[in-house]
Structure 1
Amino acid sequence: MRTTRTTGAEPRTAAKSLTGRLTPYGFISPTAALLFVLMFIPIAMVMGYSLMDNVITNKHPEFVGLDNYVKVLSNGVLPTAVLNTAIFTIVSVIAHLVLGLLFAMMLNTKLLSNLTTGLFRVIYVLPWLFTVAIIAILWRLLLNPNGVINYVLVGLGITPTGIEWLSTPGTALLAVTFINIWAGYPFYMVSLLAGLQGIPTDLYEAAKVDGASALQQFWHMTLPQLKPIIISMSLLDVIWTSQQFALIWMTTGGGPINATEMLSTFTYKLAFSNYEFSQASASAVLLLIVSTVLAYVYARYQKARE
C-alpha cells in the first residue's frame, strides 16, 4: 500500500487565506483608530458629562440623570434658537437651490460665448473660495453703517441714514441669512452644472420635434434628470446649515438680543459664557441626535438610489 505524505501546502494556503481576509482591516485600522480617539471617545465623554452635575468647575461632580436635559429644554432662549435655526436653514437651502440652478442653467446655455461663460464661472464660484473668516470680515465691512452698501443706499435716496444691518434686531437675521446664501450657492451651481451637462441633448431635440416649449422641457425633462442631485445636495445642505456656527459667531455672536441666536451659538454660550458645561453637553447631545436623524435619512436615500 502507498501512503500519502502530508506536506505543508495546506497550512500555507490557510495562512495566505487568513492574511488575505485580514489585509483590508489592516488598511483601515489607522483611520479606525483615529476615529475612535477623535470622535467616539469625545462623544462618549460628552454624553457622560450631560448626566453629571456641572463638570469642569466642580471637582467632584455627581450623577444627576436627565436634570440637565430638563434644564436645557426649559431654557427660555431655546425656542428662539430653534426658530432662528429653522428660518436660517430653510431660507438658505431654498435660496441656494434656486440661485444655484439659475446660474448653472445660465452657464450651460449655448447663447454665451466660451470666453463669457468662463468669466462668469470664475465670478460665480468666487464665494466658495473664501474661508468663513474672510467672508465674515468682508460682509461686516460692507454692511457697516459707513460701508459701501449703506453708501449706495443713501446715495440713491432709499434710506436717509446708514442702517445697522448686523446690530438691529429686525435686520440681523436677514443679514446673516443673506451672507450664508451668498457663501453657499456655488456648491449647488457646480453640482447642478455637472448634472445639466450630463443630460443627453437627444432628449431636448426629441422634445422640440414634439413641440414642447422651453418651460415644458425644463419641468418634464430637466428637473426629473436633476432630481437625484437636488435631493442629495438639499439633505447635505440642511445638515451643514443647521450646524452653522463660525459665520454667525464672527458676524453677530448670536445677537443683538438673541435675534440671531442659533442652536450652535446657544450651546457654545452655555459652556463658555455661562460655564454650564453639563447643560452644554446635554444640548450638544440633543444636537447630535438631530444630526444623526438627518444623516440617517441621507444615507437611506443614497442607498435607495444605488
Structure 2
Amino acid sequence: MRRAQPYFYVAPTVVLLFVLLVVPVVLVIGYSFMDNVIMNKNPQSVGLANYVTVLTDTNFHRAVTNTLFFTIVSVIAHLVLGLLFASLLNSPLLGRTSMTLFRMVYVLPWLFTTAVIAILWRMLLNPNGVINYLLGTNIEWLSDLNLALPAVTFINVWAGYPFFMISLLAGLQGVPADLYEAAKIDGASFWQRFTNVTLPQLKPIIISMTLLDLIWTSQQFALIWMTTGGGPINVTEMLSTYTYKQAFSNYEFALASTAAVITLVLSMILGILYVRHQKARD
C-alpha cells in the first residue's frame, strides 16, 4: 500500500492531463483521416486525402510562407533588441534613477495583454492615427498588401522583446567580472570582450530562449486575428488563422484538424530540440 501511495498523489494530475491534453490530440488526429466530421453525422475514413488537400492548397502555402517570415524576423529582432537593451541596462554608466526609469519603459510592452496591444497599434497605425500624423502620410498600414505583414511583424517584435531582455539581463548579471578584467589586461577590445566573453556565457540562455520563441511565435493567433484577421487577401494569413478559418468560417473541420496536426508535428520538432538542448545543458 505504501508503494502505491505516491501514485495516488499524482493520479489527479495525470487524469487531468489525459482528459485535457491526450484525448483532444488523439481526437483531432482521428478527425484528420475522416471526411467532414461534426457537419457529417456518419463520417467515413478518407485516408490521407485531407493531407493531400491541405498540402496542395495555395492558401496553406501562403500561410506557411507568412508564418516563416513572421517567426524568423520576430525571433531575430527579439534576440537583437533584447541583447541590446539588456546590455544597456547592465551598463555601469547609468545611474540608479536612470536604470529604474529605463527598465520600466523597456519592460512596458510585456505588461500589456494581446488584446490591448492589438487595439493600441490599430489606433496608432490607423490612416488618421499618430504614426501617419508624425510621418505626414496617409498610409493604411494594416490594409496595404505590401505593408500589412511587416506591420504585424513589427507589432509582435515590439510586444515580445522584453522577455528576451529580462532573461538576457539576468544572464549578463551572472557573468563573472573577473573574466572581463582578465580580457582587459590581455588587451581585448570591447568587441573582442563581447564575442569571446559575453556571448559564450550567454549561449545557453540564447539557445533556450530562441527555441521557445520559435515555438510561441509560430503559433501566434490572437495578435494576427485582432489586427488583420489574416487579410487583406491572405497577405498576413498564418498557420493558426488558416486552421481557424477552415473550422469556423468554412466549417471544414476535417481539414482544420489536418492543418492542426501538421502544425503540431512542426511544433513537436522544435519542442524535441528544446528538450534535447536542456538535457545537454544539464
Q: If the length of structure 1 is used for normalisation, what is the TM-score?
A: 0.91
How many Å apart are 1:74 and its aligned residue? 1.1
Q: What's the counterpart of residue 283 of structure 1?
A: 259
Q: What's the counterpart of residue 105 of structure 2?
A: 123
Q: What is the CA deviation profile of residues 166-213 of structure 1, one whole-angstrom value per residue up to 9, with x for unaligned ones?
A: 001100000000000000000000000000000010111111111111
State the superposition RMSD in angstroms: 0.9
Q: What's the counterpart of residue 10 of structure 1?
A: none
Listed as ranges, the matches of 1:112-151 within 5 Å are 112-151=94-133
Q: What's the counterpart of residue 207 of structure 1?
A: 183
How many Å apart are 1:27 and its aligned residue? 2.5
Whole-angstrom CA distance in 2 between matches of 1:204 and 1:283: 50
Whole-angstrom CA distance in 1 between matches of 2:61 and 2:249: 19
Listed as ranges, the matches of 1:130-209 within 5 Å are 130-154=112-136, 161-209=137-185
Aligned counterpart in structure 2 of residue 87 of structure 1, from 69, 75, 89:
69
Q: Which amino acid is 1:31 matched to? A: T
The alignment partner of 1:77 has SS state of helix
Aligned counterpart in structure 2 of residue 232 of structure 1, from 188, 208, 212:
208
Aligned counterpart in structure 1 of residue 46 of structure 2, from 64, 71, 86:
64
Listed as ranges, the matches of 1:265-284 within 5 Å are 265-284=241-260
- Is 1:39 aligned to residue 15 of structure 2? no
- Is 1:292 aligned to residue 274 of structure 2? no
Q: What's the counterpart of residue 14 of structure 1?
A: none
The alignment partner of 1:103 has SS state of helix
Whole-angstrom CA distance in 1 between matches of 2:4 and 2:95: 55
How many Å apart are 1:52 and its aligned residue? 1.1
Aligned counterpart in structure 1 of residue 221 of structure 2, from 245, 250, 275:
245
Whole-angstrom CA distance in 2 between matches of 1:215 and 1:53: 59
The alignment partner of 2:40 has SS state of coil
Q: Mean alpha-carbon deviation: is it higher for 248-257 or for 67-76?
A: 67-76
The alignment partner of 2:147 has SS state of helix
The alignment partner of 1:222 has SS state of helix
How many Å apart are 1:78 and its aligned residue? 1.2
The alignment partner of 1:165 has SS state of coil
How many Å apart are 1:24 and its aligned residue? 3.1
Q: Which amino acid is 2:244 matched to? A: Y
The alignment partner of 2:146 has SS state of helix
Q: What is the CA deviation profile of residues 119-171 of structure 1, one whole-angstrom value per residue up to 9, with x for unaligned ones?
A: 100110011111100000000000000000000000xxxxxx41000001100
Q: What is the CA deviation profile of residues 44-98 of structure 1, one whole-angstrom value per residue up to 9, with x for unaligned ones?
A: 1111111111011111111111111111111111111111000000000000000
- Is 1:302 aligned to residue 278 of structure 2? yes
Whole-angstrom CA distance in 2 between matches of 1:120 and 1:34: 42
Segments of 5+ residues of structure 2 without an aligned counterpart are none
Whole-angstrom CA distance in 1 between matches of 2:8 and 2:163: 35
Segments of 5+ residues of structure 1 without an aligned counterpart are 1-17, 155-160
Q: Which amino acid is 1:172 matched to? A: A
Q: What is the CA deviation profile of residues 252-290 of structure 1, one whole-angstrom value per residue up to 9, with x for unaligned ones?
A: 000001110011111111111111000110111111111
Structure having the higher Rg: 1
Whole-angstrom CA distance in 1 between matches of 2:150 and 2:195: 31
Whole-angstrom CA distance in 1 between matches of 2:8 and 2:228: 47
Whole-angstrom CA distance in 1 between matches of 2:144 and 2:72: 22
Aligned residues: 282
Q: Which amino acid is 2:280 matched to? A: A
Whole-angstrom CA distance in 2 between matches of 1:113 and 1:44: 55
Q: What's the counterpart of residue 197 of structure 2?
A: 221
